[in-house]
Each structure stands twice: as C-alpha cells, then as structure tokens.
C-alpha cells in the first residue's frame, strides 16, 4: 500500500509541477532595446552630425513633402508565381508614382531557400541554376514577425498597414492600397544624406526626420540597403517557359539592415510640430553588389502598429 501511495504521489507531484510551467506575459510585450550606439558618430545638434570625421548638415526646410509609400514584396527565387506579382508592382504600379513609391523585395521563407538544399528546388534544373541566396537575416526576421511566407507567396505589405490582423496583402490589392496610402497627408518629413568611398567600400549615412503636426505614440526609424536590377535565375510557373529563367531582372532586393532588425526608437511619447530627430550610421558595402544599383532606404513607423508613416530612398552613388 505504501508503495502504491509513493508511486501515485510521484505522478501527482509531477502534474502539480507541470501546472507551474506557465509564463503569462503582461505588457510590455516588446521592450527589448535594439538601439545601439554607433561608433564614430557624434551628434552636434539636431541638424548636424559628424560621422567618422565628416560632417553632414541638413539645411532648414519647413516645406510639406508628399506622403511616400513603402511596398514590400515578399518573394523567393523558387516561387513560380512571384515574378508575376513582382513585375506588376515594378512595371505597372510603380511607374504611376515614381519616387513616391519605394519598393523592397524581401526574399524569405520556403521559396527563397535556394537550390540545391531548398525544399522547393525543382528536381529538373540546369546546372548551377537557382542557387543564389538572396535571403538576409533582417528579411528573415521581418518574415517571421509578419508571417508573409507562411501565408503563401507572393504577397506583400503596403506601408505595413493593418497589422496584426490583415496586414498581408495579396498582389491583387496592391494597386488600390498604394493609391489609398499615397492620398494621405504626410505626418513626417524624412531626408537622407550620404557619402560613399568606393575604394574602402565605406558608407556614411545621416537621416533626419521632422514631425509635421503633433504626433502621438512611439516611433521608430529603420534604415536598410537594397540593390536594384540584379540579373539572376528565377523560377516561373506556366505559362512562362522554360521555368528556370537565367536572365530575370530582380528589382530592389533587400540586402542588409543599416540599423537593427526592427529599427531604433526615435520617440517614446510622440512629437510636437517641427520636432527634429537626427541619426547617423556607417556601413560597409559588400563587394559583390553593384554600387551604382545600391540604394539607401529609410522609413519611420509606429513602434506598436508598425504602420509606416514616411519613407525615403536615395542612391548610394550620387
């Protein structure tokens, strides 16, 4: 009888211990500090910053800029339906907006895992085809948060609106959502200055934001690098044939983050009209990238809703 009670007691104790194995999380749900001090960056005032000895100065500008729109195309080289969506975004929608529409192609998820290891790698492919890996750690982290590849490529985010319930937008609605966002009044101005030394591959970037009207809430700034017009393999589903295309034009491919994965905080409590925030960074350009096609993209977003308030883009080379 004692043995029976011991065995029963052991199992009951196990059950009780299991009940304590629960971590109920209360707000704040996101308080990890991703901002890091950038070596060589010294802030002089809200309009002047020294980066590795070079001073970047923003002249006073109180003009009201247009609201620019950020379109993120979540894609993959092995996603046969994705090039149709990418071409629609870059060749049909973007020409109507010019520099008021900034595109980032984020290669991530199942269909971005290249050959030969990628699970979606077609058994039949020319030697060496579809082996370029366009994935980035920042793009992978974005994809995990927003769930784009999990929802089935191709899809995208338009100004990251409607997070977290319906932020993933099908290509069919991209045009309408871009138009909707482009008609909003700008709540921030955003300017980028940069210098680039081709011999050392060193990039220096200064980004200044300006609140237009009083803005409540907390905001973050994200700076990334993209490379446009990369000619490389892409897989197509019918009717395009052959399915593996060696000359596909990959547009605005996300290459790396300049600051942290989900940006850095520029305000925890909001802004008054005209408030300025200045940020400086330095980065190194990968030798394999074509410098003339590399662009610096900066955007401001609500730290809680991720909604992009303003975006700006500038070429690496003047």
Contact footprint for another protein (CB under 8 A): 4, 7-8, 11-12, 14-15, 18-19, 21-25, 27-32, 34, 110, 119, 122-124, 141, 144-147, 150-152, 155, 163-165, 168, 170-172, 217-218, 237-238, 241, 260-262, 302, 304-305
- Closest distance to another protein from the beta carbon of 66 (Å): 26
Q: List the beta bridge partners of residue 302.
A: 219
Contact 284, 204 (CB under 8 A): no
- Closest distance to another protein from the beta carbon of 255 (Å): 19
Structure token pair of residue 210: 């300006």
32 or 247: CB nearest another protein? 32
28 or 53: CB nearest another protein? 28
- Closest distance to another protein from the beta carbon of 2 (Å): 13
- Closest distance to another protein from the beta carbon of 101 (Å): 21
- Closest distance to another protein from the beta carbon of 254 (Å): 16
270 or 274: CB nearest another protein? 270
- Closest distance to another protein from the beta carbon of 276 (Å): 23
34 or 57: CB nearest another protein? 34
3 or 63: CB nearest another protein? 3
146 or 233: CB nearest another protein? 146
Whole-angstrom Cα distance, residue 230 to residue 295? 13
Whole-angstrom Cα distance, residue 146 to residue 85? 19
């Amino acid at each position: 009888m004692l043995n029976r009670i011991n065995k029963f007691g052991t199992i009951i104790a196990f059950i009780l211990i299991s009940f304590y194995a629960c971590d109920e999380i209360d707000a704040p749900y996101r308080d990890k500090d991703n901002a890091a001090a950038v070596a060589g960056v010294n802030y002089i005032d809200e309009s002047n910053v020294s980066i590795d000895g070079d001073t970047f100065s923003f002249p006073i500008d109180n003009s009201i800029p247009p609201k620019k729109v950020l379109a993120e195309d979540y894609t993959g080289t092995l996603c046969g339906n994705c090039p149709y969506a990418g071409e629609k975004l870059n060749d049909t929608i973007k020409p109507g907006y010019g520099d008021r529409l900034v595109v980032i192609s984020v290669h991530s998820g199942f269909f971005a895992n290249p050959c030969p290891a990628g699970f979606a790698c077609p058994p039949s492919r020319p030697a060496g085809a579809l082996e370029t890996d366009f994935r980035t750690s920042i793009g992978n982290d974005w994809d995990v948060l927003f769930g784009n590849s999990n929802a089935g490529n191709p899809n995208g985010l338009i100004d990251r609106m409607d997070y977290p319930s319906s932020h993933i937008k099908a290509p069919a609605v991209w045009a309408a959502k871009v138009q909707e966002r482009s008609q909003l009044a700008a709540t921030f101005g955003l300017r980028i200055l940069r210098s680039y030394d081709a011999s050392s591959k060193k990039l220096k970037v200064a980004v200044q934001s300006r609140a237009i009207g009083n803005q409540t809430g907390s905001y973050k700034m994200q700076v990334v690098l993209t490379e446009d017009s990369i000619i490389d393999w892409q897989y197509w589903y019918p009717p395009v044939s052959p399915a593996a295309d060696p000359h596909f034009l990959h547009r605005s491919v996300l290459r790396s983050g300049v600051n942290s994965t989900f940006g850095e905080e520029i305000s925890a409590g909001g802004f008054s009209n005209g408030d300025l925030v200045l940020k400086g960074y330095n980065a190194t350009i990968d030798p394999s990238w074509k410098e003339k096609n590399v662009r610096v993209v900066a955007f401001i977003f609500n730290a809680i809703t991720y909604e992009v308030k303003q975006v700006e883009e500038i070429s690496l080379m003047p």
